[in-house]
Amino acid sequence: GQNIDQPTEMTATEGAIVQINCTYQTSGFNGLFWYQQHAGEAPTFLSYNVLDGLEEKGRFSSFLSRSKGYSYLLLKELQMKDSASYLCAVLNDYKLSFGAGTTVTVRA
């Protein structure tokens, strides 16, 4: 089976940094994705990790440790528009399994 855990909620201040952790236990692994989803809208792709290490993309970075079954998404210089749900997803055997999502609220 697939087990993907991430915190339910996080709150941070505009301009700050927030780190969203994701741990996974899956029967196989072909890559890990992070998506952003605003309420009622489609998930939008943020990052993809298949090898261990850090991938940086502007204000967003994602890290993967396959041996630990662990990833994090780092959001820097938070903006109000970053208030959204962030979904961790593991690709295994053609199937993408999603965590329940972390709702990030950015306060002024």
* Window 7 to 66, contacts with other proteins (CB under 8 A): 30-31, 33, 35, 40-45, 48
In the complex with other proteins, which residue's Cβ is closer, 69 or 101? 101
Q: Are 49 and 61 in contact (CB under 8 A)?
A: no
Q: Which of 16, 68, 100, 105 binds other proteins (CB under 8 A)?
A: 100
In the complex with other proteins, which residue's Cβ is closer, 9 or 77? 9
Secondary structure percentages of the chain, helix, strand, coil, to 5: 5, 60, 35
Q: Which DSSP helix (H) or strand (E) runs through 103? A: strand 102-107
In the complex with other proteins, which residue's Cβ is closer, 54 or 100? 100
Strand, helix or coil for residue 81: helix
Letters for 76-95 (x = contact with other proteins by CB under 8 A, - = none) are: -----------x-x-x-xxx
Strand partners, 89: 33, 98
Sign for the pseudo-dihedral over CA of 45, 49, 53, 55: negative
Based on the shown chain and the rule CB under 8 A, indicate whether residue 96 belongs to the binding site for other proteins: yes
* Amino acid occupying residue 82: D
Supply the minimum distance, in Å, between the C-beta of residue 79 and other proteins: 21
Supply the minimum distance, in Å, between the C-beta of residue 4 and other proteins: 10
